[in-house]
A and B are shown apart, each in its own frame.
Chain A
Amino acid sequence: DAGITQSPRHKVTETGTPVTLRCHQTENHRYMYWYRQDPGHGLRLIHYSYGVKDTDKGEVSDGYSVSRSKTEDFLLTLESATSSQTSVYFCAISRDTPYEQYFGPGTRLTVT
């Protein structure tokens, strides 16, 4: 158990509405990540954070923003949800080394 929780776990929303997903960690790790997982694509990095208020884009960042005002919380916002953002979203943290990433349980988001 990597001490990562995600909320909500499931969400259905309508096209055009804003959505915020929350990732919370209990172990005070510096690096946090947001991924999306879609059939045939595996996991793709959306954004990551290397400290409070320090974030950077991943390979599929268009349409997403993030914020990290506290070490333990990393928020992912869809400003105006689209059907193409229907996916399973995973938060992850790195422990001592960059390749040891540990994942949360995921949020299943459906945009209708």
Chain B
Amino acid sequence: QKEVEQDPGPLSVPEGAIVSLNCTYSNSAFQYFMWYRQYSRKGPELLMYTYSSGNKEDGRFTAQVDKSSKYISLFIRDSQPSDSATYLCAMGVGDYKLSFGAGTTVTVRA
């Protein structure tokens, strides 16, 4: 069993819809939780990070962490075609080594 499991997708949504992305994990020692966005044939870029349970907002993006359920989510409101990408969750215990989910590919249709 992988340490981090991510909903495989792909997801296709109309412009303006809310996108919901999810990851579960098995290692209760994880303290840091990140979301990366990766456009086709590009390197991943850090979108958001958090180290506590609860919600964190940044513009149209909300990251949610539930440590008791070992579950994290990313919500994208008012999705745009420019949000079409692969989204990767990542987690760490604080020693600089991150564990990544396999990624979910999202397409936002205009």
* Contacting residues of chain A (15-48) with chain B, CB-CB under 8 angstroms: 31, 33, 40-45, 48
Q: Does A64 contact B (CB under 8 A)?
A: no
> What separation, in Å, do the CA atoms of A31 and B88 have in the docked complex?
21
Given A50-B96, A58-B97, A99-B32, CB of A43 within 8 Å of CB of B88: yes
Closest to B32 in A: A99
When A103-B45, A104-B43 are in contact, do A98 and B101 touch as well, CB less than 8 Å?
A: no
Across-interface contacts of B36 in A (CB, < 8 A): 103
Cβ-based interface call for B102 (8 A)? yes
CB of A42 within 8 A of CB of B103, answer yes
Q: Across the two chains, which residue of chain B brings its CB closest to A90? A: B43
| Min distance, Cβ B25 to any Cβ of chain A, angstroms | 13
Docked CA distance A111–B26 (Å): 34
Q: What chain B residues lie within 8 Å of A45 (beta carbons)?
A: 97-98
**Other-chain residue from B42, B92, B100, B101 in contact with A99 (beta carbon distance below 8 A):** B92
- Tell me the bound Cα distance from A42 to B88 in angstroms: 8
A63 within 8 A of B: no
Query: Is the Cβ of B96 less than 8 Å from the Cβ of A31?
Result: yes
A87 on the B face (CB < 8 A): no
Please list the residues of chain B having a beta carbon within 8 angstroms of any beta carbon in chain A.
4, 6, 32, 34, 36, 41-46, 49, 51, 88, 90, 92, 94-98, 100-103
24 contacts between A and B (CB under 8 A): A40-B102, A41-B102, A42-B100, A42-B102, A43-B88, A43-B90, A45-B97, A45-B98, A48-B96, A58-B97, A90-B43, A90-B44, A98-B95, A99-B32, A99-B34, A99-B49, A100-B46, A101-B46, A101-B90, A102-B46, A103-B43, A103-B44, A103-B45, A106-B41
Chain A residues near B (Cβ < 8 Å): 31, 33, 40-45, 48, 50, 58, 90, 94, 98-106
